[in-house]
Amino acid sequence: MQELLEDSVLLQCRVNDKPREEFIHPTKSLLDFLREDLGFTGTHMGCMTGHCGACTVTIDGHIAKSCITLAASVQRKKVVTIEGLGEPDSLHPVQSAFCEEAGFQCAYCSPGMVLSTVELLSENPEPTDEEIREALAGNLCRCTGYQSIVRAVRAAAAQYLAKQESQK
């Protein structure tokens, strides 16, 4: 455990299913905590105003923009970054769908797009294209026209439904 610094607070939370206990400055953003203190650089730094979605994570299962979230606000909560979804040799189904459908070009927006898709499909396993676009509205991609991204979400939804059918 880190040394207590003046004006620091003890943050206890779970990040990617591992318990974390760190002393942090009370004004530190969740983005900086994840990237600088824990090394989760898959959470990207973009606009720093919560508009682009590159810094998206989930907090207790709901998407959040880590650049505008105080790290101290995740006290005793569960945070998942893009690194917490799958492993390089065992991708999460949403990650696989995005790869198979060439959902990204530069992939800078991928953490936000993927985590937003995971949340969407957990709440609505059969979204319409309009619902997909609405769920992804908080994520900007400057490389694509979003068609490949919507196609990837549809493919992920089909995988989710097939898995549910096979479990019946």
Domain membership of residue 1 (yes or no) is no
Report pLDDT digits (tens) over 19-53. Answer: 999 999 999 999 999 999 999 999 999 999 999 99
- For residue 160, give its domain range: 93-166
Residues 101 and 69 reside in one and the same domain:
no
Instruction: Place 1 in a pLDDT band, splitting at 50, 70 and 90.
Output: very low
Looking at residue 83, what DSSP letter applies? G
Q: Which of 31, 56, 84 is the last residue of a domain?
A: 84
Edge-to-edge order in the sheet of strand 78-80: 18-24, 9-15, 78-80, 56-59, 62-65
Instruction: Place 80 in a pLDDT band, splitting at 50, 70 and 90.
Output: very high
Residues 28 and 50 reside in one and the same domain:
yes
Tokens of residue 134, six digits: 């609405």
Instruction: Place 88 in a pLDDT band, splitting at 50, 70 and 90.
Output: confident
Averaged pLDDT score across all residues of the chain: 93
Q: What is the CATH number of the domain that holds 43?
A: 3.10.20.30
Q: Which of 63, 84, 105 is the last residue of a domain?
A: 84
Please state the rounded mean pLDDT for residues 127-138: 96
Please state the rounded mean pLDDT for residues 95-113: 93
Enter the pTM of the model.
0.90
Name the domain count of the chain: 2
